[in-house]
A and B are shown apart, each in its own frame.
Chain A
Amino acid sequence: ILNVEQSPQSLHVQEGDSTNFTCSFPSSNFYALHWYRWETAKSPEALFVMTLNGDEKKKGRISATLNTKEGYSYLYIKGSQPEDSATYLCAYSGGSNYKLTFGKGTLLTVNP
């Protein structure tokens, strides 16, 4: 059974704050780590797909890092805005398998 854990479960921040969340996953047989943003009543949106240990990716104010040896990834949001309010999901795929195992997500609420 693969375990993908995300913390915290939920987070409330003020507009302008920077924040980060954690995703931990099995370090063996690693293939890729995905991050998605899922706003209420919308489709999950792919943010990053990371494959290499030490990878760092950035998209606007959002960035992510990857440590495959110890099995964790961080997602950072700089200067949070109310439109960043969403559930952030990470998902792990092992070997060459296309199947994703998701964490339960971190629900971010940014207060104006």
Chain B
Amino acid sequence: SAVISQKPSRDICQRGTSLTIQCQVDSQVTMMFWYRQQPGQSLTLIATANQGSEATYESGFVIDKFPISRPNLTFSTLTVSNMSPEDSSIYLCSVGAGNYGYTFGSGTRLTVV
């Protein structure tokens, strides 16, 4: 299965600033997924990133708040823009599907103060 390197692993940010999270995969993949887990909540899909097209966002998530780049088949970034304390979460990228399940990055633990 694929191996994903996700950075940063954690950060503490001031409200109103932006943070860009990167995921690098060791193989080419068509779809990459970005998830968020707020404290006490389920892991929730933010968007699906396909190379060469705009990301597809889930209900409740918008491009202005969570812009995503997918410049090639092994890399993607998620930016959390104009952060507020409610954005404090664990953010995860993911690839894969089918009978073997998904592979996840190790997560970015974000605290907004």
Q: How far is the CB of A48 from chain B (nearest CB, A)?
A: 8
Q: Is B42 in contact with A104, judged by CB distance below 8 angstroms?
A: yes
- One of B40, B43, B103 near A46 (C-beta < 8 A): B103
In the assembled complex, the Cα of A112 lies from the Cα of B4 at a distance in Å of 32
Contact count A vs B, C-beta below 8 Å: 49
B53 interface residue per 8 A CB criterion: no
In the assembled complex, the Cα of A61 lies from the Cα of B12 at a distance in Å of 39
In the assembled complex, the Cα of A34 lies from the Cα of B41 at a distance in Å of 18
Q: Is A100 in contact with B40, judged by CB distance below 8 angstroms?
A: no
Q: Is B102 in contact with A100, judged by CB distance below 8 angstroms?
A: yes
Q: Which B residues are in CB contact (< 8 Å) with A47?
A: 101
Q: How far is the CB of A86 from chain B (nearest CB, A)?
A: 14
B44 interface residue per 8 A CB criterion: yes
**Which chain B residues (19-67) contact chain A, with CB distance < 8 Å?**
31, 40-45, 48, 58
What are 19 residue pairs bridging A and B, where the CB atoms are less than 8 Å apart in the complex?
A4-B42, A34-B101, A41-B9, A41-B107, A43-B4, A43-B103, A43-B107, A44-B43, A46-B100, A46-B101, A46-B102, A100-B45, A100-B102, A102-B42, A102-B44, A103-B42, A104-B40, A104-B41, A104-B42
* Interface residues in chain B, defined as those with a beta carbon under 8 Å from any beta carbon in chain A: 1, 4, 9, 31, 40-45, 48, 58, 92, 97-107
* Interface residues in chain A, defined as those with a beta carbon under 8 Å from any beta carbon in chain B: 4, 34, 36, 41-44, 46-49, 51, 89, 91, 98-105
Q: Which 10 residue pairs of A and B lie closest in terms of their CB atoms, listed nearest first? A: A46-B101, A102-B43, A43-B104, A102-B42, A44-B104, A43-B106, A49-B101, A104-B42, A98-B97, A49-B99
